[in-house]
């Protein structure tokens, strides 16, 4: 299929700059664009590429100001990244979805299966579990007893969901995700053995949540570990028992959250961050990569950095001095030397 710049501009409610008649048949990255492809510019780091990209059409933000001539036709929109996401979505939907129930799947007799599902080979669905309509279960996935999976949810290959857990509508769980393993709860005994504390709660994942590959979300000791609607969680993240992740909170890869810590809405946790247990973290908190938070955060919309973390700007000041610490020590040496000399004069 081919689309002209005019057709694309119409679909995205954008305006055209350049040749309206040029047409494209596929998508490309701006730095690798070739004739007949459509690309986009959103991240300023890639601005230099727009002046020599071979892509035929580039979607840009309305406020983009060209500093040189551009060969490509531009389509200006309010938000180039979102507009491009829309195009990708159209492209992906055109590919269709798998469907049907494999006779190599195992579905417990008491399970309830919705309409238009895909249940692939080697999927195991436990007793009394409910699978919603239009939901996709890829191969080698295990869903335990008494689970409830919503509608229009995609569960990729090899996901493991323990008994009693609840997954909402329009969720995506990537391959290897583990939902509902036991929280890490042990009572130390006088003989230094650990007594296991059984974990009888569950995990509740609300609607529109995405969970990355091999991420683990433990069941609650009592009650529920909760991932609220719209949260997005990357790969290899550890979420311990009784944690709550707020609405539209983003958790980047390899972050670890200890037991019972609760996040407000719209937080952003960068990669490899860590959180102690039993904390409350305010709405809109941002934590920079590799930082570790050991205390409650009460002020909303603040940025934290360091391990242990404190205010981001203060950390950066301290860190600049840390890098120059050798110079500071030399200055103190010098001061001592001068003062000693003075006093001996």
Q: Is 218 in the site for its own copies (CB under 8 A)?
A: yes
Cα separation of 319 and 149, whole Å? Answer: 47
Q: Which stretch binds its own copies (CB under 8 A): 1-9, 56-64, 68-76, 236-244?
A: 236-244
Q: Is 274 in the site for its own copies (CB under 8 A)?
A: yes
Q: Which of 128, 241, 278, 337 is catalytic?
A: 241
- Beta strands 303-306 and 309-311 are antiparallel
Q: Which is nearer to its own copies, 51 or 186 (CB)?
A: 186
Member of 20, 97, 298, 321 binding its own copies (CB under 8 A): 321
Q: Is 61 in the site for its own copies (CB under 8 A)?
A: no
The 242-271 site mask, x for binding its own copies (CB under 8 A), equals x-----x-x-xxx-x-x------xx----x
Member of 11, 197, 282, 286 binding its own copies (CB under 8 A): 197
Check residue 216 and report its DSSP letter. Answer: E
Please tell me the total number of residues recorded for the chain in this structure: 345
- Contact 149/173 with Cβ under 8 angstroms? no
- Contact 277/292 with Cβ under 8 angstroms? no
Task: Give the DSSP H or E segment for 340.
Answer: helix 325-344
For the bound state, the minimum distance from the C-beta of residue 114 to its own copies, rounded and expressed in Å, comes to 21
Q: Is 286 in the site for its own copies (CB under 8 A)?
A: no
Classify burial at 94, counting beta carbons within 10 Å of its beta carbon; exposed 0-12, middle 13-18, buried 19 or more: exposed
For the bound state, the minimum distance from the C-beta of residue 148 to its own copies, rounded and expressed in Å, comes to 18
Radius of gyration (Cα) for the chain, nearest Å?
27
For the bound state, the minimum distance from the C-beta of residue 260 to its own copies, rounded and expressed in Å, comes to 9
Member of 181, 282, 286, 303 binding its own copies (CB under 8 A): 181
Q: Is 115 in the site for its own copies (CB under 8 A)?
A: no
Count of residues of this chain found to bind its own copies when the rule CB under 8 A is applied: 113
Q: Is 48 in the site for its own copies (CB under 8 A)?
A: no
Task: Give the DSSP H or E segment for 100.
Answer: strand 100-101
Q: Which stretch binds its own copies (CB under 8 A): 16-24, 57-65, 128-136, 214-222?
A: 214-222
In the beta sheet, which residues pair with residue 100? 118
Q: Is 142 in the site for its own copies (CB under 8 A)?
A: yes
Q: Is 3 in the site for its own copies (CB under 8 A)?
A: no
Cα separation of 259 and 275, whole Å? Answer: 9
Check residue 193 and report its DSSP letter. Answer: P
Main-chain phi, psi angles of 109, to 5 degrees: -55, -35
Q: Is 97 in the site for its own copies (CB under 8 A)?
A: no
SS3 assignment, position 17: strand
For the bound state, the minimum distance from the C-beta of residue 184 to its own copies, rounded and expressed in Å, comes to 4
| Catalytic residue status for 128 | no
Task: Give the DSSP H or E segment for 238.
Answer: strand 238-239
Q: Which residues have a catalytic role annotated?
A: 241
């Amino acid at each position: 299929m081919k689309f002209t710049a005019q057709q694309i501009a119409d679909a995205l409610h954008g305006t055209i700059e350049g040749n309206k008649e040029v047409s494209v048949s596929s998508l490309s990255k701006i730095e690798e664009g070739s004739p007949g492809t459509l690309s986009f510019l959103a991240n300023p780091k890639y601005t230099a590429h727009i002046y020599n990209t071979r892509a035929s059409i580039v979607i840009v933000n309305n406020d983009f100001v060209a500093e040189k001539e551009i060969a490509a036709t531009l389509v200006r929109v309010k938000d180039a990244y979102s507009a491009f996401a829309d195009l990708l979505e159209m492209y992906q939907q055109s590919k269709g979805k798998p469907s049907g129930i494999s006779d190599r799947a195992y579905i417990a007799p008491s399970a309830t299966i919705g309409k238009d599902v895909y249940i692939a080979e080697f999927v195991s669905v436990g007793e009394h579990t409910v699978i919603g309509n239009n939901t996709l279960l890829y191969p080698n996935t295990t869903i335990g007893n008494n689970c409830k999976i919503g509608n229009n949810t995609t569960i990729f290959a090899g996901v493991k969901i323990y008994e009693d857990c609840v997954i909402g509508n329009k969720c995506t769980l990537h391959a290897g995700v583990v939902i509902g393993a036991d929280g890490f709860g042990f009572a130390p005994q006088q003989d230094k053995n650990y007594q296991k504390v059984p974990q009888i709660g569950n995990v509740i994942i609300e609607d529109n949540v995405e969970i990355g590959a091999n991420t683990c979300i433990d069941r609650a000791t009592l009650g529920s570990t909760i991932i609220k609607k719209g949260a997005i969680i990357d790969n290899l993240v550890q979420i311990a028992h009784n944690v709550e992740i707020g609405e539209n909170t983003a958790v980047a890869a390899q972050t670890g959250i200890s037991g019972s810590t609760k996040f407000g809405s719209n937080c952003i946790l960068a990669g490899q961050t860590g959180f102690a247990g039993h904390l409350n973290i305010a709405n809109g908190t941002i934590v920079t990569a590799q930082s570790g938070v050991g205390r409650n955060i009460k002020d909303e919309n603040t940025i934290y950095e360091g391990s242990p973390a404190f205010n981001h700007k203060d950390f950066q000041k301290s860190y600049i001095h840390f890098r120059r610490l050798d110079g500071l020590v030399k200055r103190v040496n010098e001061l001592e030397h001068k003062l000693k000399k003075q006093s001996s004069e």
